[in-house]
Amino acid sequence: MKIQSRLYWGQGLFNKISLGELYLIVTVLNVLFLTILWFLFPVTRIALVEENEFLENLTTIFYFETFVLGLIFITKLKHKQARKSYLIIPLLGLLAALDEISFGYRMFWFQAPLVGGVRIDSIHDVFFLLLMTVKPILKQNRIILLVALGVFVCSLLIGLIWAIRHLHEVKETIQQGLKNLVLAFNHYPPLCFLLVTIGYGIVSILLDLDIFVADFLKFFEELIEMNAGLTLLFSCFAIRSSRQTQLNNSR
Protein backbone atom coordinates (compact mmCIF):
# COMPACT_ATOMS: atom_id res chain seq x y z
CA MET A 1 0.00 0.00 0.00
CA LYS A 2 1.30 3.43 -0.94
CA ILE A 3 0.62 6.85 0.44
CA GLN A 4 -2.10 8.22 -1.80
CA SER A 5 -0.80 11.74 -2.31
CA ARG A 6 2.35 13.76 -1.84
CA LEU A 7 2.07 17.06 -0.05
CA TYR A 8 3.61 19.85 -2.09
CA TRP A 9 4.86 23.20 -0.93
CA GLY A 10 4.07 26.49 -2.61
CA GLN A 11 4.10 27.35 -6.28
CA GLY A 12 6.69 28.06 -8.99
CA LEU A 13 10.20 27.07 -7.98
CA PHE A 14 9.05 24.68 -5.24
CA ASN A 15 6.09 23.08 -6.99
CA LYS A 16 8.17 19.96 -7.78
CA ILE A 17 9.45 19.51 -4.21
CA SER A 18 7.33 17.61 -1.73
CA LEU A 19 6.87 18.98 1.77
CA GLY A 20 8.85 16.08 3.22
CA GLU A 21 11.75 16.69 0.84
CA LEU A 22 11.79 20.40 1.66
CA TYR A 23 11.76 19.58 5.37
CA LEU A 24 14.76 17.25 5.01
CA ILE A 25 16.68 19.88 3.02
CA VAL A 26 15.99 22.62 5.58
CA THR A 27 16.85 20.33 8.50
CA VAL A 28 20.14 19.09 7.04
CA LEU A 29 21.21 22.62 6.07
CA ASN A 30 20.45 24.17 9.46
CA VAL A 31 22.16 21.34 11.37
CA LEU A 32 25.29 21.62 9.20
CA PHE A 33 25.36 25.42 9.33
CA LEU A 34 24.88 25.74 13.10
CA THR A 35 27.32 22.90 13.86
CA ILE A 36 29.97 24.58 11.69
CA LEU A 37 29.34 27.82 13.58
CA TRP A 38 29.81 26.01 16.89
CA PHE A 39 33.12 24.39 15.98
CA LEU A 40 34.72 27.04 13.76
CA PHE A 41 33.44 30.25 15.35
CA PRO A 42 33.54 29.90 19.16
CA VAL A 43 32.45 33.52 19.54
CA THR A 44 28.94 32.44 18.46
CA ARG A 45 28.57 29.83 21.21
CA ILE A 46 26.90 32.17 23.68
CA ALA A 47 24.19 32.92 21.10
CA LEU A 48 23.74 29.19 20.51
CA VAL A 49 23.47 27.88 24.09
CA GLU A 50 22.55 30.67 26.53
CA GLU A 51 19.03 31.46 27.73
CA ASN A 52 17.19 34.22 25.83
CA GLU A 53 19.80 34.19 23.07
CA PHE A 54 19.54 33.60 19.30
CA LEU A 55 18.87 29.85 19.11
CA GLU A 56 16.37 29.73 21.97
CA ASN A 57 14.57 32.80 20.63
CA LEU A 58 14.42 31.20 17.18
CA THR A 59 12.86 28.11 18.76
CA THR A 60 10.24 30.28 20.47
CA ILE A 61 9.46 32.02 17.17
CA PHE A 62 8.94 28.66 15.41
CA TYR A 63 6.53 27.50 18.11
CA PHE A 64 4.62 30.80 18.12
CA GLU A 65 4.38 30.70 14.32
CA THR A 66 2.98 27.18 14.65
CA PHE A 67 0.27 28.52 16.94
CA VAL A 68 -0.68 31.43 14.66
CA LEU A 69 -0.39 29.67 11.28
CA GLY A 70 -2.04 26.53 12.64
CA LEU A 71 -5.13 28.50 13.64
CA ILE A 72 -5.17 30.30 10.27
CA PHE A 73 -4.91 27.08 8.23
CA ILE A 74 -7.48 25.30 10.40
CA THR A 75 -10.08 28.04 9.93
CA LYS A 76 -9.82 27.50 6.15
CA LEU A 77 -10.79 23.82 6.43
CA LYS A 78 -14.36 23.01 5.41
CA HIS A 79 -14.99 19.99 7.63
CA LYS A 80 -15.66 20.63 11.33
CA GLN A 81 -14.24 17.24 12.35
CA ALA A 82 -10.99 17.97 10.51
CA ARG A 83 -10.68 21.31 12.28
CA LYS A 84 -11.06 19.60 15.65
CA SER A 85 -8.50 16.90 14.86
CA TYR A 86 -5.89 19.45 13.74
CA LEU A 87 -6.43 21.79 16.71
CA ILE A 88 -3.83 19.88 18.75
CA ILE A 89 -1.06 21.32 16.54
CA PRO A 90 -1.49 25.05 17.32
CA LEU A 91 -2.19 24.20 20.97
CA LEU A 92 1.10 22.29 21.17
CA GLY A 93 2.81 25.26 19.52
CA LEU A 94 1.39 27.65 22.12
CA LEU A 95 2.33 25.38 25.04
CA ALA A 96 5.87 24.90 23.71
CA ALA A 97 6.31 28.64 23.08
CA LEU A 98 5.24 29.40 26.65
CA ASP A 99 7.59 26.69 27.90
CA GLU A 100 10.51 28.27 26.02
CA ILE A 101 9.91 31.62 27.76
CA SER A 102 9.37 29.83 31.11
CA PHE A 103 5.67 30.78 30.97
CA GLY A 104 6.68 34.42 31.37
CA TYR A 105 8.77 33.86 34.53
CA ARG A 106 11.89 35.58 33.18
CA MET A 107 9.90 38.10 31.14
CA PHE A 108 7.40 39.29 33.75
CA TRP A 109 9.25 38.14 36.90
CA PHE A 110 6.27 36.43 38.51
CA GLN A 111 6.98 33.97 41.30
CA ALA A 112 7.21 30.46 39.83
CA PRO A 113 6.43 27.66 42.33
CA LEU A 114 9.34 26.04 44.17
CA VAL A 115 8.90 22.28 44.65
CA GLY A 116 11.56 20.18 46.35
CA GLY A 117 14.15 22.87 45.79
CA VAL A 118 13.40 22.98 42.05
CA ARG A 119 11.91 26.12 40.46
CA ILE A 120 9.08 24.86 38.23
CA ASP A 121 9.02 27.33 35.34
CA SER A 122 9.08 24.89 32.41
CA ILE A 123 7.98 21.38 31.47
CA HIS A 124 11.60 20.19 31.63
CA ASP A 125 11.68 21.09 35.33
CA VAL A 126 8.86 18.63 36.02
CA PHE A 127 10.93 15.77 34.57
CA PHE A 128 14.01 16.97 36.47
CA LEU A 129 11.97 16.99 39.70
CA LEU A 130 10.78 13.44 39.01
CA LEU A 131 14.38 12.36 38.45
CA MET A 132 15.51 14.00 41.70
CA THR A 133 12.68 12.20 43.49
CA VAL A 134 13.42 8.79 41.97
CA LYS A 135 17.23 8.91 42.32
CA PRO A 136 17.35 8.50 46.14
CA ILE A 137 14.77 5.71 45.98
CA LEU A 138 16.86 3.82 43.41
CA LYS A 139 20.04 4.29 45.44
CA GLN A 140 18.37 2.93 48.58
CA ASN A 141 16.82 -0.02 46.74
CA ARG A 142 19.54 -1.16 44.37
CA ILE A 143 18.60 -4.82 44.80
CA ILE A 144 15.05 -4.10 43.65
CA LEU A 145 16.46 -2.17 40.68
CA LEU A 146 18.76 -5.06 39.73
CA VAL A 147 15.88 -7.53 40.00
CA ALA A 148 13.69 -5.28 37.82
CA LEU A 149 16.45 -4.99 35.22
CA GLY A 150 16.94 -8.76 35.29
CA VAL A 151 13.22 -9.34 34.75
CA PHE A 152 13.24 -6.81 31.89
CA VAL A 153 16.23 -8.47 30.17
CA CYS A 154 14.72 -11.96 30.61
CA SER A 155 11.42 -10.73 29.17
CA LEU A 156 13.26 -9.36 26.12
CA LEU A 157 15.07 -12.67 25.61
CA ILE A 158 11.85 -14.67 25.95
CA GLY A 159 10.13 -12.31 23.50
CA LEU A 160 13.01 -12.65 21.04
CA ILE A 161 12.92 -16.46 21.24
CA TRP A 162 9.15 -16.45 20.70
CA ALA A 163 9.52 -14.08 17.72
CA ILE A 164 12.12 -16.36 16.11
CA ARG A 165 9.87 -19.42 16.54
CA HIS A 166 6.85 -17.56 15.15
CA LEU A 167 8.67 -15.58 12.48
CA HIS A 168 5.86 -15.86 9.90
CA GLU A 169 3.25 -14.49 12.32
CA VAL A 170 5.58 -11.68 13.39
CA LYS A 171 6.24 -10.78 9.74
CA GLU A 172 2.50 -10.60 9.01
CA THR A 173 1.93 -8.47 12.12
CA ILE A 174 4.68 -6.04 11.07
CA GLN A 175 3.29 -5.80 7.53
CA GLN A 176 -0.20 -5.10 8.88
CA GLY A 177 1.21 -2.51 11.25
CA LEU A 178 2.99 -0.75 8.38
CA LYS A 179 -0.23 -0.75 6.33
CA ASN A 180 -2.10 0.79 9.26
CA LEU A 181 0.64 3.41 9.63
CA VAL A 182 0.37 4.35 5.95
CA LEU A 183 -3.42 4.65 6.34
CA ALA A 184 -2.87 6.90 9.34
CA PHE A 185 -0.48 9.10 7.35
CA ASN A 186 -3.05 9.35 4.53
CA HIS A 187 -5.85 10.21 6.95
CA TYR A 188 -3.79 12.64 9.05
CA PRO A 189 -0.98 14.23 6.96
CA PRO A 190 0.76 16.07 9.86
CA LEU A 191 1.20 12.78 11.78
CA CYS A 192 4.71 12.11 10.49
CA PHE A 193 5.91 15.57 11.58
CA LEU A 194 4.19 15.17 14.96
CA LEU A 195 5.95 11.84 15.57
CA VAL A 196 9.33 13.38 14.71
CA THR A 197 8.57 16.30 17.05
CA ILE A 198 7.80 13.88 19.88
CA GLY A 199 11.07 12.07 19.18
CA TYR A 200 12.96 15.36 19.36
CA GLY A 201 11.20 16.15 22.63
CA ILE A 202 12.22 12.85 24.22
CA VAL A 203 15.87 13.34 23.21
CA SER A 204 15.79 16.92 24.52
CA ILE A 205 14.44 15.81 27.90
CA LEU A 206 17.12 13.11 28.20
CA LEU A 207 19.84 15.65 27.39
CA ASP A 208 18.37 18.12 29.88
CA LEU A 209 18.84 15.59 32.70
CA ASP A 210 22.62 16.19 32.42
CA ILE A 211 23.48 12.50 32.68
CA PHE A 212 26.50 13.40 30.56
CA VAL A 213 27.96 16.90 30.86
CA ALA A 214 29.71 18.60 27.93
CA ASP A 215 29.50 22.02 26.30
CA PHE A 216 28.67 20.49 22.92
CA LEU A 217 25.73 18.57 24.45
CA LYS A 218 24.25 21.87 25.66
CA PHE A 219 24.44 23.15 22.10
CA PHE A 220 23.06 19.86 20.77
CA GLU A 221 20.10 20.12 23.15
CA GLU A 222 19.29 23.62 21.91
CA LEU A 223 19.70 22.43 18.31
CA ILE A 224 17.30 19.54 18.95
CA GLU A 225 14.74 21.88 20.52
CA MET A 226 15.00 24.32 17.62
CA ASN A 227 14.43 21.53 15.10
CA ALA A 228 11.50 20.28 17.17
CA GLY A 229 9.95 23.73 16.72
CA LEU A 230 10.75 23.67 13.01
CA THR A 231 9.20 20.21 12.63
CA LEU A 232 6.02 21.24 14.43
CA LEU A 233 5.84 24.28 12.14
CA PHE A 234 6.02 21.96 9.12
CA SER A 235 3.05 20.03 10.52
CA CYS A 236 1.07 23.26 9.97
CA PHE A 237 2.24 23.38 6.37
CA ALA A 238 1.06 19.75 6.05
CA ILE A 239 -2.44 20.97 6.91
CA ARG A 240 -2.16 23.70 4.26
CA SER A 241 -0.70 21.39 1.61
CA SER A 242 -3.30 18.71 2.34
CA ARG A 243 -6.09 21.25 1.83
CA GLN A 244 -4.50 22.46 -1.43
CA THR A 245 -4.16 18.87 -2.68
CA GLN A 246 -7.84 18.19 -1.93
CA LEU A 247 -8.85 21.35 -3.82
CA ASN A 248 -6.75 20.34 -6.85
CA ASN A 249 -8.19 16.80 -6.84
CA SER A 250 -11.75 18.14 -6.72
CA ARG A 251 -11.27 20.21 -9.88
User: Confidence band (pLDDT; 50, 70, 90) for 36?
Assistant: very high
**Residue with more model confidence, 78 or 91:** 91
Q: Where are the domains of the chain?
A: 12-250
74-78, 141-145, 201-205, 244-248: lowest mean pLDDT where? 244-248
Give the closest residue to 207 by CA, choosing from 175, 121, 199, 45.
199
42-56, 140-154, 224-238: lowest mean pLDDT where? 140-154
Contacts 24+ apart (CB under 8 A), 215-223: 215/45, 215/49, 216/38, 218/49, 219/38, 219/45, 219/48, 219/49, 222/48, 222/49, 222/55, 222/56, 222/59, 223/31, 223/34, 223/35, 223/48, 223/55
Using one digit for the tens of pLDDT, what is the confidence trace for 80-128? 777 888 899 999 998 888 887 766 566 555 565 555 555 555 666 666 6
Residues 6+ apart with CB under 8 A from 123: 95, 99
Which amino acid is it at 249? N
Using one digit for the tens of pLDDT, what is the confidence trace for 161-190? 877 777 777 677 777 776 776 666 666 788
